[in-house]
Amino acid sequence: MARGDGMLNHDLLPDEKGPQDECGVFGVWAPGEEVAKLTYYGLYALQHRGQESAGIATSDGARINVYKDMGLVSQVFEETTLNSMKGHLAIGHCRYSTTGASHWANAQPTLGPTPNGTVALAHNGNLTNSADLADMVRGKIEADGGKVRGEIAQGNTTDTALVTNLLNGDPGQTLEQTALELLPKVEGAFCFVFMDEDTLYAARDPHGVRPLVLGRLDRGWVVASEQPALATVGASFIREIEPGELIAIDSNGVRSTHFAEATPKGCVFEYVYLARPDAAIAGRSVYESRVEMGRVLARENQAEADIVIPVPESGTPAAIGYAEESGIPFTHGFVKNAYVGRTFIQPSQTLRQLGIKLKLNALETVLKGKRVVVVDDSIVRGNTQRAVVRMLREAGASEVHVKISSPPVKWPCFYGIDFATRAELIANGAAVDEIAASIGADSLAYISEDGMIDATRQPRERLCTACFTGDYPIALPDDSRRGKNLLEKANQPGCEPGPDADLQSVL
């Protein structure tokens, strides 16, 4: 597993933060099985999608229990906790925050009342009309005589909490009916996995930006962000949840309803970096896509070199493809400490000046005197690649040629990936040779946009490529109605009140 230990290529430096995933979701309906433990293992397989907090909700048919906390899945849950969470269905979540700050109140699953009981919700993605949904919540509260219900009252400031609140429908409505009315009004990227006391639900936005799959157990069903989570719990892959589809799973089996017409725009960055290499998205192996990106990169950008090495781990498949196509031998130039995760104690500035190498160490015996091609998946700010080039030179490499298996990242993502602001993206406003000089490489080359898309084997019109092209397939609200802290603005001292500044005071 490339990144399940919580170490991303772009996290190789203590201060560097690269493209962060936006959450993993999991759900299981399986009477007679230990659903809390299955969910734990499912989340463990999805840990690379979010490492800030983790949570599980279970239902025994009468009552929903939620346990959540900050940290990695393995830090949040102990066996005794999981043993105490009985039931026949469960959902789980591991979070990387894209709307709402990273703190306990914003961890998921979120809980809220419904006319018939309780709903628990886990969300992967990022909504683009959170301000409109907040208006809807505000209207509901006013109609309810000012009564605030659910986690919003406890300070949850996420788009997920708004949806949970809005799933509290009219008296007499089932949760399924409320969801089918609400989902067409929700915009942006979303994979929702939610449940009441009896039924597991899964919904995917009409663009299918993020992946969501359905699997089968001997005695039940599983839904998960990525296919490898199915294999981890012994489930077989049945199919992807379709864009614009809501499925419901209970003792009557699986029901499918389409709440919107499908207009697929899958995230191309899932193929480049985000998803596990052993996943498949829209029928295409992520690993094969990455190897092919390396082959294309070699055809488009040849190099005179002695060895090809990856920046481990996510640069590895593309480096294999590059070596295969170019005929230059593949080898490893770095040793990675597999046990450094997010909880690692960050060094002080004084210690950093000693040049301590926490996560990667260069293999001098391999590199000394060699002309090196080093392959990575993407460049965001450039700090990681600058450090990589420096380490290779210190280990004796005579030349360093950096090859990147995605085009220059020039635009931010509003659909659930937290890259950086536009100003922080090194490719925004800098030419390739300027970036090469900035990171200290002898040369730098990126794959072409067409080459990347071809490697995914997906039609261009079915992909989102906005972070490379600026062509956003889902309409964005204006600046004042978007942003990670949109729903927290009113609570931030010194922050200019925006149109939602009264949200928290109203809620």
Q: Which residues bind ligand SF4 (CB under 6 A)?
A: 209, 267-269, 413, 415, 417, 464-467
Q: Which residues pair with 247 in a beta bridge?
A: 202, 256
The vertex-406 CA angle with 401 and 412, nearest 5°, equals 120
Q: For the CB of residue 51, give the shortest distance to ligand SF4 in the complex, in Å.
A: 18
**Sign for the pseudo-dihedral over CA of 252, 254, 259, 261:** negative
The alpha carbon of 306 is separated from its chain's Cα centroid by a whole number of angstroms, namely 36
The nearer residue to ligand SF4, 268 or 305, going by C-beta atoms, is 268
The nearer residue to ligand SF4, 371 or 410, going by C-beta atoms, is 410
Give the separation between CA 431 and CA 436, rounded to whole angstroms. Answer: 9
In the residue annotation, 191 being an active-site residue is answered as no
User: To 10 degrees, what angle do helices 175-182 and 159-166 make?
Assistant: 130
Q: For the CB of residue 130, give the shortest distance to ligand SF4 in the complex, in Å.
A: 16
Give the separation between CA 75 and CA 247, rounded to whole angstroms. Answer: 31
Please list the helix, strand and coil fractions of the chain in percent, rounded to the nearest 5, in that order.
35, 25, 45
Question: Is-contact 302 367, C-beta < 8 A?
Answer: no
Q: For the CB of residue 205, give the shortest distance to ligand SF4 in the complex, in Å.
A: 11
Q: For the CB of residue 46, give the shortest distance to ligand SF4 in the complex, in Å.
A: 17
Q: Left (φ > 0), alpha (ψ -120 to 50) or beta: where does 125 sit?
A: left
Give the separation between CA 91 and CA 122, rounded to whole angstroms. Answer: 7
The nearer residue to ligand SF4, 26 or 269, going by C-beta atoms, is 269
Question: Taking Cα atoms as reference points, which of 74, 73, 91, 75 lies closest to residue 36?
Answer: 91
Question: Phi and psi of 46, rounded to 5°?
Answer: -105, 10
Q: For the CB of residue 126, give the shortest distance to ligand SF4 in the complex, in Å.
A: 9
Greatest Cα pair distance, the chain, in angstroms, is 75
The nearer residue to ligand SF4, 196 or 270, going by C-beta atoms, is 270
The nearer residue to ligand SF4, 18 or 220, going by C-beta atoms, is 18
Q: For the CB of residue 240, give the shortest distance to ligand SF4 in the complex, in Å.
A: 17
**Residues known to be catalytic:** 23
